[in-house]
Amino acid sequence: MPTIKITDAAAEPITLAEAKAHLREDLADAGNDAYITGLITVVRQAAEERLQRTLLTSTWQRSDAGFTRGCIPLLFPRIQSITWLKYVAEDGTLTTLDPAAYELEATHEPGLLLPAYGLAWPAARARPGAVKVQYKAGYGDTADSLPKPIVQWMLLALTDLYENRARSSERPVLPQDFADGLINSFEIRSI
């Protein structure tokens, strides 16, 4: 049941101008601006990994070996909408399920995709990737939709990374595992 990000957010939750104002950095240097812009992406990705949720609207896809449960959990909430649900029917045909055949419980975390009331999931061939759901998740399209504590955490992380370009050791602003957390999402946890 892997879930992968198909498209990332169209913009970052912190602009370069906001980051430079927070850092009290008024130097107009293209190299430094590019460095800060890169850090903005890094702290947003670190926040998403740590929180296990999507901050700004992105597209995700979940794959399952079949309809094995009464519901399909959709990770990295807030779930905004279902783009499509496709499955391999028992005869091997790739089929797109009619949206009227399922319901989204978006307020649940993780989100839940359920068969519509009174219906059951269709028969699907049991094999890896037999059922795929593509969906949009995130608090919204703009930084204004994010909870302020998350944005503040990202600004603190940005400051720590900018001012301590080597790994923090003495009295770090953020927990010591922050630097290690930057690569956790690339770790293969199970097969």
- Looking at the structure, tell me whether residues 75 and 126 fall in a common domain: yes
Q: 118, 137, 156: which is the final residue of a domain? A: 137
One-character DSSP codes across 112-155 = EEEEPTT--PPPB--STTSEEEEEEESSBSSGGGS-HHHHHHHH
Q: How confident is the model at residue 120 (pLDDT cuts 50, 70, 90)?
A: very high
Q: What is the pLDDT of residues 56-103, one digit of tens each?
A: 999 999 999 998 778 999 999 999 999 999 999 999 999 999 999 999
Q: How far is Cα 95 from Cα 121, in angstroms, rounded to an integer?
A: 13
- Looking at the structure, tell me whether residues 45 and 109 fall in a common domain: no
Q: How far is Cα 98 from Cα 189, in angstroms, rounded to an integer?
A: 34
Q: Is residue 32 part of a domain?
A: yes
- Looking at the structure, tell me whether residues 154 and 176 fall in a common domain: yes
Q: Is residue 189 part of a domain?
A: no
- Looking at the structure, tell me whether residues 88 and 132 fall in a common domain: yes
Q: Is residue 191 part of a domain?
A: no
Q: Is residue 94 part of a domain?
A: yes
Q: Is residue 123 part of a domain?
A: yes
Say whether 3 sits in a helix, a strand or coil: strand
Q: What is the pLDDT of residues 28-55, one digit of tens each?
A: 788 889 999 999 999 999 889 888 899 9
User: Left, alpha or beta for 99 (phi > 0: left; psi -120 to 50: alpha)?
Assistant: alpha
Q: Is residue 21 part of a domain?
A: yes
Q: How many domains does the chain have?
A: 2
Cα 128 to the center of its chain, rounded Å? 22
Q: Which residues pair with 187 in a beta bridge?
A: none
Higher pLDDT, 22 or 189: 22
- Looking at the structure, tell me whether residues 90 and 31 fall in a common domain: no
Q: How far is Cα 56 from Cα 136, in angstroms, rounded to an integer?
A: 10
- Looking at the structure, tell me whether residues 121 and 78 fall in a common domain: yes
> Could you give phi then psi for residue 136, rounded to 5 degrees?
-105, 140
- Looking at the structure, tell me whether residues 152 and 112 fall in a common domain: no
Tell me the pTM: 0.82
- Looking at the structure, tell me whether residues 90 and 157 fall in a common domain: no
Q: How far is Cα 87 from Cα 64, in angstroms, rounded to an integer?
A: 9
- Looking at the structure, tell me whether residues 69 and 127 fall in a common domain: yes
Q: Is residue 106 part of a domain?
A: yes
- Looking at the structure, tell me whether residues 7 and 34 fall in a common domain: yes
- Domain membership of residue 168 as a residue range: 3-55+146-184
The answer to whether the beta carbons of residues 40 and 180 sit under 8 Å apart is no
Give the sheet arrangement for strand 131-137, strand by strand: 3-7, 58-64, 131-137, 79-88, 94-96
